[in-house]
Amino acid sequence: MYEVYPPASVVVGIDGSQAAIRAARWAADEVAGTEDLLRLLYSRELNPGADRTTSHGLLAAAEDAVNDAYAAVEAMGKSVKVEIDILEGRAVPVLIDATKSARLLCIGNAESGNASSNGFGSTAAKLVQTAHCPVAVVRGERHTDPTDDRSIVTLVGGSPDDDDAVEWGCAEATRRNAPLVLVTAARTGFDVPEQDWILLDHDRRMRAALDRYATAIGSHSPEVNLRTVTTGDTFLSYLAEHAATTQLAVVCAHHTSEMCQLVGPTGAGALRQSDFSLLVVR
């Protein structure tokens, strides 16, 4: 007997905020014209002591939130299959559970939306570290602007796991008609100075990795405007310096030091004048 598999889904965390609507629109671009399902998911915590009026009010607020997100997606005029879902439970556990069967989770960063934001919020930090699928943290207002020519910046660290990050970065660059920048950066988390020969060997391997990816992308996606960069700074420092020309940063989840810097207190200060989004691939 044949098994019937549901279509792949892109889940969007909905909470009634404008940040969530930004995430829904970003996700709609991801699934437009495909068979993938856009799932607008609202989680609501139940209060056992709440009276009927309060409970009905909370349900109405949930329905309004998902309907507003649906209307925002519909207004884009793109071919998107949408599912609306309201579940009971706390937001983070509900979303983590949803990632077990999702292709991608998109969330809006409530602490962003302009160039004076404080990096990535606590909910984003929890989800990018514990989700079972890639997570996109959407910030800023310009992500649906077709004239946005800022770059997709992808971290390359010399591991085979980087293949997934580069593949996602290339796909995003193609989808958004944006330049793709592959960056190798100084490693983080060391307590002692590295010997010169170790640093030189690391630099050689990183350049070889960039050349390998550049050759592959040139062969399979020649339309992508690709640039490779080797920097002596950390990935966070590179992004802070190039925030104005970056629309999306892509990093593989196995780069735990870099990821924690991006979504932690250090990133909050370094990325204060930025509005680029983050895609953590796993």
What CATH number is associated with residue 271?
Answer: 3.40.50.620
Model confidence at 187: pLDDT above 90: no
Residues 161 and 99 in one domain: no
One domain for residues 85 and 199: no
Pairing of strands 277-281, 246-252: parallel
Q: Per-residue confidence at 7, pLDDT binned at 50, 70, 90? A: low
pTM attached to this predicted model = 0.89
Phi and psi (nearest 5°) for 251? -140, 140
Count of structural domains within the chain: 2
194 has a pLDDT exceeding 80: no
First vs last Cα of the chain: how many Å apart? Answer: 32
**Residue 144 predicted with pLDDT over 70:** no
Model confidence at 186: pLDDT above 90: no
Residue 131 domain flag: no
Report if residue 228 sits inside a domain: yes
Write down which residue in 108, 132, 165 finishes a domain: 108
Average pLDDT, the chain: 86
pLDDT band at 190 (very low <50, low <70, confident <90, very high): very low
Structure tokens at 3: 């098994």
The reported pLDDT for the residue numbered 44 is 87
| 139 domain-assigned | no
On whether both 94 and 158 belong to a single domain, the answer is no
Side-by-side strand order, sheet with 246-252 = 81-88, 37-44, 9-14, 104-108, 135-138, 277-281, 246-252, 151-155, 180-184, 226-230
User: pLDDT-based confidence at 184, cuts 50/70/90?
Assistant: very high
> Residue 203 — very low, low, confident or very high, per pLDDT cuts 50/70/90?
confident
57 Cβ partners below 8 Å, 6+ apart? none
**Once rounded to an integer, what is the mean pLDDT over residues 128-150?**
83
Q: Is 281 found in the same domain as 162?
A: yes
Q: How far apart are CA 138 and CA 120, in angstroms?
A: 10
Burial 83-121 (b: 16+ CB within 10 A, else e): ebeeeeeebbebbbebbeebbbbbbbbbbbbeeebebbb
Same domain membership, residue 249 and residue 159? yes
Residues 151, 104: one domain?
A: no
Last residue of a domain, one of 108, 129, 155: 108
Residue 132 lies in a domain: no
Q: Are residues 104 and 180 in the same domain?
A: no
Domain residue limits at 221? 147-282
Q: Domain holding 78: CATH number? A: 3.40.50.12370
Q: What is the reported pLDDT for 113?
A: 42
126, 92 Cβ separation under 8 angstroms: yes
What residue has token string 């069967």?
A: 101
* C-beta of residue 18 within 8 angstroms of C-beta of residue 112: no
Q: Give per-residue pLDDT as tens, 78-116.
A: 999 999 999 989 999 999 999 999 999 999 986 544 443
Query: Is 65 among the domain residues?
Result: yes
More confident residue, 135 or 257: 135
Residues 263-276: pLDDT tens digits? 888 888 888 878 89
CB 51 within 8 A of CB 25: no
Domain co-membership, 238 together with 178: yes
Do 200 and 76 share a structural domain? no
